[in-house]
Amino acid sequence: MLSPQADAYFNGGAADGFTLRDNALAWQRIALLPRVLQPLAGGHTRVELLGRTLAHPILVAPIAYQRLAHPHGEVATALAAAVLGAGLVLSTQASTPLEDVARLVLAENARGPLWFQLYLQVDRGFTRELVHRAEAAGYEALVLTVDAPVNGARDRERRAGFTLPPGISAVNLQGLRKPAPAALQPGQSALFDDLLTHAPTWDDVAWLRSITRLPVLLKGITHPADARLAVDAGAAGLIVSNHGGRTLDTMPATATLLPAVAQAVGGAVPVLVDGGIRRGTDVLKAIALGASAVLVGRPVVHGLANAGATGVAHVIRLLRDELEIAMALCGCARLDQASLALASGGQRHGETRARSDAG
């Protein structure tokens, strides 16, 4: 079980938690409308993503400091994800060395993709070394988080007095030296006149692409204009994410944001989504709204906290089983038929307007 401090860290959101709560509720508000007597024999959950065929479209989102939830931390999550064929995105702030995680995942034949999530550090030399470590270890893509130049106002963490306990740290950032605080003049902002002078820009995306042979996905794209800029900047994929409701409160849920981003991209690159995915029906809805795959975070943490690798495996297995059930009951033998499962005209759960779909 999670300690009170770990619970505040993993389950808390920014400010009043409106976005945190709405992430899950938004998926629930989307209605599915079944089709019956459809041919379902030979159906499957396979998807194509960045040149690979995945057994299913479920990936584990980057989750920092997993040893807060269980002593085996990222090792347990990696083993479970690999055996269940789920993709794994390892956090920059993992509490286990990235090489150790890679060795476990790459040894499993049935594994999904192995990606490394990256925060650009002020020390670009350190960032370059970290990227090269990920390449050498066998990671297949970089996931650059772009939506958190600063932390959100995480009141629940503050009230809990959250600090990392002894023995748990961002081990892959060991040796990183932070710049000294700027000497501010009266009236200057510690945020805008110091910290944010180092905030990444589109130029830094170009720099990152120039130093790696790996494809770079951008995580935290929520505006259609930014989606188009990301494609122009050479991003290999986008992840629609509001950081699990942990950065800017009152921004829309990812289920609400996904369709416009997918439309803006127009199939040029794959679009993934995270935030509030709790059921296999949510996965089906995400695919129907334009996602190629989904990432799951907090359910994995709770599986890990309760039963280690077995708990994580159980969470992934439940999601895949529920996805297959939802597909079958909606008359979808394949995920490229997922849009047929949505009620027409953006119908929401509880509305009574009938669907007129001849498909």
List, by residue number, the catalytic residues. 243
Rounded Cα gap, residues 333 and 35, in angstroms: 11
β-sheet bridge partners, residue 272: 239, 293
CA distances to 145, 202, 325, 333 from 216, in Å: 10, 13, 33, 31
- How far is residue 194's CA from residue 345's CA, in Å, rounded to a whole number? 47
Bridge partners of 293?
A: 272
DSSP string, 164-218: PPTT---GGGTT--PPPPP-PPTT--TTTTTGGGG---HHHHHHHHHH-SS-EEE
Rounded to whole angstroms, what are the CA distances from 344 to 26, 163, 229, 354?
Answer: 17, 48, 30, 8
DSSP at 342: B
From CA 356, how far away is CA 232, in angstroms rounded? 38
Cβ atoms of 158 and 2 within 8 Å: the answer is no
Q: Which structure tokens are listed for 114?
A: 């192995």
Say how far apart CA 2 and CA 311 lie, in whole Å: 13
Location of structure tokens 């009236």: 187
List, in sequence order, the alpha helices (H) in 15-154.
18-29, 73-83, 98-106, 124-137
Helices vs strands, H then E, count in the chain: 11, 10
Contact 13, 308 (CB under 8 A): no
313's enclosing H/E stretch is: helix 298-329
Residue with tokens 């009266």: 186
